[in-house]
Structure 1
């Protein structure tokens, strides 16, 4: 299956489920660990007696996965909302399962960590009434070096680690198909591709090793190449520019989520505004080079970042 075929099918698949140009993250399927609540800035709301905040919801509890999404809250969004008069608490998680359950159970007001197809699947399987609100800057999925340092080092019998959750594993397979490492069957759904959808793995006879997303950076030395989620790469100190190949699609820019009943509340609008403010945009572009940004942001910036985020033509062609 060629890259053009995958791109066409990806677009069709997103159109079919109404998720064109939406976000993505994966999940590990392990039991959820306890999240660590981070202290609220002392006196943050007490100092603002007459501020323009939601009088019915003066404290906002934000859940994110640890890494860049948590840093966005710590370093920019928290202070912005506190200046407005809100009390803000960050609850970081180390997995992709608990944040949605915690949101549905009322332990969080909003979470920020996932792409829409994952949210749609998770809330359907767990009967949760959640809805996406706004997009956030997202580190793209990439293929990184392990024992081998360049795509030219690909060889028959090599090992490639990949996220074990279905949505991100499908993305990993599409990337390997893009590189010509494997061939996927025609007319498959690229959002749900699995090992059963591999038509041909004879060129490199790849040993695909599925691991929980958080383990992928630590296991790089045990495989030849590693497909790593962008947030876990940055959390492990891996520069996105180290990626040998990044998925070209902008369909996987991540979303925030809230309970459906809260979607129209003023505090949700205020959080949305904080993430789309000019101050946050500047912070994001200065702090997260190589990321993919919300669709509603400056189109020229998105185009420039898309160019910077893709792999070099030389390496891509060498891997065919």
Structure 2
């Protein structure tokens, strides 16, 4: 056994029994000397021990994965020249943003739209992480911008959710469907709103995304923004045409959702756009004033009364806001 071979064997064995520092990490030990050489950056030894592992597909695939994660273009190039099984190596390189490694795979068009075990494509992974240069390269080599992944989401959904506005602009430019519906019929604009990604919302609205889109529970973008106190989004959506009085499937308005969240600022903002306040909605026929009184939100009750809301309006069970305040012991509201 050569000195190099012994060194690799000792390194691999020490990791297996936990005496090497890397053995203290929550990682699987290298399964072979080839993998150990790649994992620990002993690049020059890879060609020397290649013949021993040429036909060991499992070892070569694992080594290729490590090299891709590390962004080791030299080793990736060598392994691909001598091995045809790519596996998920491109996915790993795209996820980490290793542009030079991704370039090596440019001829492997069969894997550009291949899904990993979690149903992600390389383009989705790069878009989610915000690696614009990698996204551009993948699209240039014909990665499908509208490929559907986990929960029926596209690359645009992922970039919108994580607020990568430059990636979004490029994907839209290259033909991404702006109003593509993912699980629960949520569009990229839904995900941007839920994740409080203001710039992403501005990009999508600027590209004519539908501000009135609703999910399976009839929750619109405005409902999500109002319920989380995302005031900037509330203003953009209403200005762009979102309907303020639309009801969710369980009969809630944007104003009611803002009341439930206890966000006075958002309630005030919505009231400035003159929503309907006295029409009983939902199963109980509750108004925003009923909700505020039941919760004991004195400042919101006072704000609603400024808009001349009838304090004696009844729910379907004939209870007024005062009934609910008394029932819940909210003395200040009473």
What TM-score bracket applies, with the shorter chain setting the length? under 0.3
User: By percentage of residues, which structure has more helix?
Assistant: 2
Larger radius of gyration: 2
- TM-score, normalization by structure 1: 0.20
More strand by share: 1
Q: Between the two structures, name the one with larger relative contact order (CA 8 Å, sep ≥ 6).
A: 1
TM value normalised by structure 2: 0.20
